[in-house]
Amino acid sequence: MADASKPVDLFSQQEANRRRSRWLVAGFVFFFAWLGLGGDWLAWQFTRNAPPAAYHHGFPLIGLAMFFLGFGLVAYIRKTGADKVLWSSGAWQLLEPVTPEQKTLDNVVQEMAIASGLPKPTIWIVDDPDPNAFTTGNDAAHAHIAVTTGLLAALDRDELEAVIGHEMGHVKNLDTELMTMVAGLVGATALISNGLGRVLFSGVRIGGGGGGGGGGRSSKNNLGPLVLVVLAIWLVSWILAPIITRMMALGISRDREYLADAMSAQFTRNPASLASALEKIEQADSPTTSIQAGVAHLCIADPLGRRMSSAEGFLGDLLATHPPMAIRVARLKAMGYQAQKAAGNFQAS
């Protein structure tokens, strides 16, 4: 559960997200550099006692390649991350609203863009019966809001307006850039890790390979415990890389959801509508099958089933993509009660 004593105002949240984005990029690049330089050191250890005619690894080519690969992936994700997220969900862009539901959605997005003081995002629809919504993009000028057909069918206009206000809150808080970057890094790391795993388990060997048995035995006999320890850590790093990046996605502070809820209440002046919308989303029977695990943290509610997001305490903070829905609803209802109370006192006076 979020610490009520922590500042959650807009400017502190924006600065925190900028800081997290910088640390995320730096950590990703240096993690790739470690994987490369670790491979260089191990290759040097395995080949330094090889026969003179065999290959001897000296120049840190793997480390440099992995370092620049990390930078290249970050640049590529910044450029194409939002497109990949939308593509992975099967979303299609709403260009000309036709149905009454589509026209209402277009009007609501326009109203919330005006209320938030931001450019109108492009609108996307995901053909999925489970009610959900997410936002992606690198900045407010290139933001995208996607909603499922199930959300359009389940919510009334005020509830839809509140959900769109929540997503616009993410855009204004600079959550969207951070969450899109994490989604891209999760996918890229999993792809690279799987590729290396296939190479390792297919029998590819580091070193001179085909030399006589004496050369191979001499190399093995000269391997000290440090080499074995580094080799184990290096292999485990590759194996755990997708898990580590996934944990980064899950570990993004869940305070961002509370702040986006609060900003929706600010934009709409109607926190009760978001509370009602979240209750309807929570009561949906099945997960959102169109949205993959790597982008689950982008959604207004966990699209993969909500059991972990219902957990409180350390386990929930560690593994859940979203705070408990019951707490979010309770906070919004409390906001509505306080607003009604203040309005009543004002009228009475």
Helical (H) or strand (E) element with 281 = helix 271-282
Q: 70 near 32, Cβ under 8 Å?
A: yes
Residue 167 known to be catalytic: yes
Q: What is the DSSP letter of 308?
A: G
Q: Counting beta carbons within 10 angstroms of the beta carbon of residue 213, is it exposed (0 to 12), middle (13 to 18) or buried (19 or more)?
A: exposed
Q: 42 near 231, Cβ under 8 Å?
A: yes
Tokens encoding 27: 């950590």
Q: Per residue in 126-158, is it b (16+ CB within 10 Å) or e — as a string?
A: bebbbbbbbbbbbebeebbbbbbbbbbebbeee
* 112 Cβ contact partners less than 8 Å away, ≥ 6 residues apart: 161, 164, 165, 168, 267, 268
Q: Which of 101, 159, 161, 167 is catalytic?
A: 167
Active site residues: 167
